[in-house]
Amino acid sequence: MVTTRHYRACPLCEAICGLELRCVDGQLTAIRGDAADPFSRGHICPKGNAILDLEQDPDRLRQPLRRHGRDWEEIGWDEAFAEAGERLAAVQKAHGADAVAAYLGNPNVHHFGHFAYLPAVLRQLKTRNVFSASSVDQWPHQLVAFAMYGHQFLIPIPDVDRTDVMLMLGANPVASNGSLMTAPGIERRLRALVARGRLVVVDPRRTETAAIASEHLAIRPGTDVWLLRALLQALQAEGPPRLAAYAGKLTGFEAALAAAATITPEQAAVVTAVPATALRRLAQALYAAPSAAIYGRMGLSTQAHGTLCQWLVQLLHLYLGQLDRVGGSLPNEPVMPVTGPGTSPGHRDRWRSRVRGLVGFSGELPVAAFAEEMATPGAGQIRALLTCAGNPVLSTPEGPAVARQLAQLDYYVAIDIYLNESTRHAHLILPPAPFLTQHHYDTVFNGFAVRRVAKLSVPLRPRAAGERGDWEIFNGLGAAYATAAGKPWRDLPEPRTLIGLGLARNAAGVTLEALEAAPQGLDLGPLEPSLLRRLETPSGAIECAPAFLMEALAALEMPRVFTQPAPFDLLLIGRRHVRSNNSWMHNAPRLVKGKPRHALQMHPEDLAHRGLQTGQQVWVRSRVGTLQVEVEASDALLRGVVCLPHGFGHGVADTRLHRANTVAGPSYNDLTDPQALDAPSGNAALNGLPVSVGALPH
Ligand code: SF4
């Protein structure tokens, strides 16, 4: 029998494309972009098609696995839940609540069965040692939204389809498909912008996005804070700030402007390598534009001044009068609310990490502290761990140190579909059933979309006997732990019911039944200004000068010339590819076929200066580690910058990743430094990492 279903929210990136899935006799046989989806309009990228690989992957775990030394045995679900619950409770009973930690990978926010059910388990564990991929990613965005607007998810989204001028920093959506700007088919949208207006990309590399932009400004990694401050100053030469729309809803703007706009474009140029004339031209274009939006992503966030940069982006929007304005930058007001009553606005510095005293944010600690919290003896030392859809060995700073500590844990239970570089250290693995067997509503990325959209994804096929959905695993683990720990527990209902309950709170009147009657989803129109009405700061106003940001700004000294910290003479940055999803998907044949993509890229003159040639094996050294990799020339890079993709580092013993283990390439996080942080947030400074490179002996 042939069936075709629409499953919104391909969960492999934030673009949430609508997919049309063809099934024959219950087996998924074909996938294509759903042309009738009002949001993605047929868009699909190679990762969407790789869901076929994911469904049919013989390495995918289907039953709980328990480790005995280097061997694994399949066990039943009830036995697995009971063991995990008892072991986690026993560690806490002996050593305190914080002795059990949790690490949550990025996929947790991509599926309702994780996102909506995991928090109940974390609330039961009541540990301060919660870490996630958010602190190697978007914490600066959330922290600035919390500090200025009162809620971590009141994040303004660039109105890419209606803006006239867009400034994009440290972002490559043509390769990544966008992030904190859910916009399926982003290349089409950006080309339309270039045709009607102007797209300026600031990046150390002429990326795939820069290649289609109106202008590319090559910047030294990690120096954007000086460019943004100089841009604020250059705007003052164009005219006064346009603040009329925010009257009575703004505090501290003048103080923030006076403190931040003290750098001239000429001073900034010395450090950033972006010519002062280009910056003044940019200020003119932004100020003159009827509408303008500024967007900074991974390159701007995962660097030493990520939070200051995101704050400056918001101040620039305010100066231009483009905050919460059509064509500017404005938060989505999603059908299933992520802000307002009953949601978590966030909190900062409620507790700190035990060893280094790093400030926590919104119930988590910076993952840069993860290894040391496992390694350092004393009260509160991490002795047991729960990971959910995460591979911290490849995804967090100084991965080898993390791996060494995972191997020492008293107990480690992983919710994961793979026996990978991290979960090979687990004592127990609980693998969720394929996501296509469950109802799904995208709670997170509808909230970051460039239009107001809503769609219910319905199961494509029933779960096979013996499979458990992710939501069932969280219910089962939570109940078993609560029993062992003597705590109360109530199972959450299945996803369709929970989605219905979430929708019941929406002001747009979209019901579960309405979504079930619209298999391709609903488009409720473009973004509308809502921020001023939804502010959740205690003052009820936009807080332009939060004390901790003003202090961080005051502590920042402008170098008079650009210098590299000896002995490192190069700066390392990351690189995305449309077939890559960091470490998630390298076991998918469709995504790893073709030319290798792992080489270290270096400017041809930097290669020549070192007597190196394309194809040669080199060592790359940072303060904490060394790796080996082929080098290749790329004139897309600024001189002094080298570029390596993240997510590689497979081929490790005792993993079950047959395809990934044939994929060459070292792990970027063999080099990243847990001491390199964005101070206000604790977000890891993965980009702009000082390294040196040299030839390996033949
Ligand atoms: S862009 Fe690709 S990976 Fe992202 S949601 Fe669409 S099909 Fe999936």
Q: 447-476 pLDDT, tens per residue? A: 999 999 999 999 988 899 999 999 999 999
CATH entry 3.40.50.80 includes domain 65-137+360-506: no
Which atom number of ligand 1 is nearest to the Cα of residue 48? 7
Q: What region, left, alpha or beta, does residue 612 occupy, with left being phi > 0 and alpha being psi -120 to 50 degrees?
A: beta
Cβ–Cβ contacts within 10 Å for residue 93, how many? 13
Residue 83's closest CA among 102, 64, 69? 64
What tokens does 95 get?
């050593």
Pocket test for ligand 1, best of 34, 37, 41, 45 (most atoms within 8 A of CB): 45
Contact 454, 337 (CB under 8 A): no
Q: Kindly give the distance from the C-alpha atom of residue 514 to the centroid of ligand 1, in angstroms, as a whole number.
A: 25
Q: Give the residue whose CA is nearest to atom 4 of ligand 1.
A: 13
What stretch(es) of the chain map to CATH 3.40.50.740? 65-137+360-506
What tokens does 454 get?
């809503």
pLDDT of residue 460: 86
pLDDT of residue 9: 66
Q: Tell me the average pLDDT of the chain.
A: 95
Q: What is the pTM of this model?
A: 0.97
pLDDT of residue 508: 85
pLDDT of residue 6: 65
Q: Give the residue whose CA is nearest to atom 6 of ligand 1.
A: 17
Q: What is the CATH number of domain 139-335+540-554?
A: 3.40.228.10
CATH entry 2.40.40.20 includes domain 570-695: yes
Give tens-digit pLDDT for 9-20. 687 888 899 999
pLDDT of residue 583: 74
Which atom number of ligand 1 is nearest to the Cα of residue 13? 4
What stretch(es) of the chain map to CATH 2.40.40.20? 570-695
Cβ–Cβ contacts within 10 Å for residue 51, how many? 24
Give the pairing of strands 428-430 and 65-68: antiparallel
Give tens-digit pLDDT for 49-61. 999 999 899 999 9
Ligand 1 pocket at CB < 6 A? 10, 12-13, 15-17, 44-45, 47-48, 177, 184
CATH entry 3.30.70.260 includes domain 2-56: no
What stretch(es) of the chain map to CATH 3.30.200.210? 2-56
**Intervals of the chain under pLDDT 50:** none
Which atom number of ligand 1 is nearest to the Cα of residue 33? 7
Cβ–Cβ contacts within 10 Å for residue 138, how many? 24
If you count them, how many residues does the chain have? 698
Cβ–Cβ contacts within 10 Å for residue 539, how many? 11
The type of residue at 523 is D
Q: Is the dihedral of CA 121, 124, 130, 136 positive or negative?
A: positive
Distance CA 84, CA 344 (A): 28
| Site of tokens 């750098």 | 263
